[in-house]
């Protein structure tokens, strides 16, 4: 009996076979959307080297039948941090930012078209007054579906206090081999706020792409899993491997089943989402947007805060949500 795609990928990169439900056979390929999680080790903030590596990984993903390839958070600069106490360090960090029409980003529009595969490109985006932490999703025709900037910037760190937060969540229709799929994105700390995935679900997202850069422990992984279940969406997260982070790039379907979970090493990991199953479940489930009572949730948009929740930003100043 031939190996399934997921098992073949796992063996190719020397990892354990993905954890999850019984794998669908070839006859189900018309309903499976394959997302490649690019768990790559960066060359510091060398943008040329990093983007060249991403291209190699994208080509490998396409050769393995992926419909979408996803990079870790701010891949172009390898999420390189700076010393906030060093004079000129923040300005040097800002100088690395590139606009989305920069050649280093648009090369992936051309690559997506050439490979017939969507690509989620992550980068420090040039913006005013400060750069943004962004992902641009190109479809398999090389057209931009959306550019999303991280809303919940990690303002407890100087690096992201030095960035402009995004202004909202976006969902776009992605033309794929199996037909149109509604896709959104959230980035790292976004997934730790339940409102992020909830907003995306309410906007119609069926799949949420999640670039990441942090250690993933059991609590964070289970938190991510619950985002999928409570919103009836598929979620896919690409993280950095060791030594920079601890890998564990992961994908969960709307049932909370783990479709693939990486180890700590660099590699390419593919998750196959059953989009038809998700759509059937959405018509029957009690979760998602079935029995919500939004007319009772007014407090969710209040900026008032009990002093116990007051925090300082990455520069030691009192953090105020309304100023971000």
C-alpha dihedral sign at 99, 162, 248, 24: negative
- This prediction's pTM: 0.92
Cα–chain center distance at 164: 18
| CA distances for 49 relative to 53, 108, 212, 285, angstroms | 6, 14, 20, 46
CA 200, CA 213: separation in Å to the nearest integer?
21
> What's the pLDDT tens digit per position in 190-235?
999 999 999 999 999 999 999 999 999 999 999 999 999 999 999 9
* Residues constituting the chain: 324
Burial of 253 by CB count in 10 Å (0-12 exposed, 13-18 middle, 19+ buried)?
buried
pLDDT at 84 over 60: yes
CB 278 within 8 A of CB 254: yes
Cis link prior to 243 (omega < 30° from 0)?
Answer: yes
Q: What does the block give as tokens for 73?
A: 């958070």
Give the integer Cα–Cα distance in Å for 23 and 26: 10
pLDDT at 210: 99
Residue 178: helix, strand or coil by DSSP? coil
152 pLDDT more than 60: yes
> For the chain, what are the domain ranges?
5-323
Cα angle 24-28-32, degrees, rounded to a multiple of 5 = 85
What is the pLDDT confidence band of residue 2, given thresholds at 50, 70 and 90? very low
Checking phi first, is residue 135 left (phi over 0); if not, alpha (psi -120 to 50) or beta? beta
Annotation: CATH topology of 5-323: Nitrilase/N-carbamoyl-D-aminoacid amidohydrolase (3.60.110)
**Per-residue model confidence as pLDDT tens digits over 225-264:** 999 999 999 999 999 999 999 999 999 999 999 999 999 9
Phi, psi of 236 (to 5 degrees): -135, 125
**14 band by pLDDT with thresholds 50, 70 and 90:** very low
- Whether 175 and 106 have beta carbons less than 8 Å apart is answered as no
Alpha-carbon span 107 to 102, nearest angstrom: 9
10 Å Cβ neighbour count for 307?
Answer: 5
Both structure tokens of 268: 């390419």
Q: Report d(CA 137, CA 103) in Å as an integer.
A: 15
At 170, give phi and psi (nearest 5°).
-130, 145
How far does the chain reach from its first CA to its final CA, in angstroms?
Answer: 56
Q: Quote the mean pLDDT of the chain.
A: 93
- pLDDT at site 177: 97
């Amino acid at each position: 009996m031939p190996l399934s795609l997921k098992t073949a990928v796992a063996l190719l990169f020397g990892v354990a076979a993905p954890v999850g439900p019984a794998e669908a056979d070839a006859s189900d390929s018309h309903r499976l959307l394959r997302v490649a999680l690019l768990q790559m080790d960066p060359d510091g903030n060398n943008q040329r080297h990093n983007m060249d590596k991403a291209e190699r990984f994208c080509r490998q993903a396409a050769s393995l039948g992926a419909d979408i390839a996803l990079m870790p958070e701010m891949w172009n600069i390898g999420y390189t941090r700076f010393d906030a106490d060093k004079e000129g360090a923040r300005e040097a960090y800002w100088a690395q930012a590139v606009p989305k029409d920069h050649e280093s980003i648009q090369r992936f529009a051309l690559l997506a078209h050439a490979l017939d595969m969507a690509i989620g490109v992550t980068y420090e985006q040039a913006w005013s007054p400060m750069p943004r932490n962004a992902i641009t999703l190109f479809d398999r025709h090389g057209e931009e579906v959306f550019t999303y900037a991280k809303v919940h910037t990690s303002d407890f760190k100087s690096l992201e206090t030095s960035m402009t937060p995004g202004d909202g969540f976006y969902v776009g229709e992605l033309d794929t081999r199996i037909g149109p799929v509604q896709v959104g994105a959230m980035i790292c700390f976004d997934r730790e706020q339940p409102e992020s995935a909830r907003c995306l679900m309410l906007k119609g997202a069926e799949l949420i792409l999640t670039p990441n850069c942090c250690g993933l422990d059991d609590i964070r992984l289970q938190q991510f899993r619950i985002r999928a279940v409570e919103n009836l969406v598929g979620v896919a997260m690409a993280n950095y491997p060791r030594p920079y982070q601890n890998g564990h790039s992961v994908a969960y379907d709307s049932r909370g089943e783990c479709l693939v979970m990486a180890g700590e090493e660099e590699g390419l990991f593919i998750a196959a989402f059953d989009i038809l199953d998700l759509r059937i479940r959405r018509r029957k489930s009690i979760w998602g947007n079935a029995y919500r009572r939004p007319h009772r949730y007014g407090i969710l948009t209040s900026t008032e805060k009990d002093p116990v929740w007051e925090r300082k930003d990455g520069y030691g100043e009192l953090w105020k949500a309304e100023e971000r």
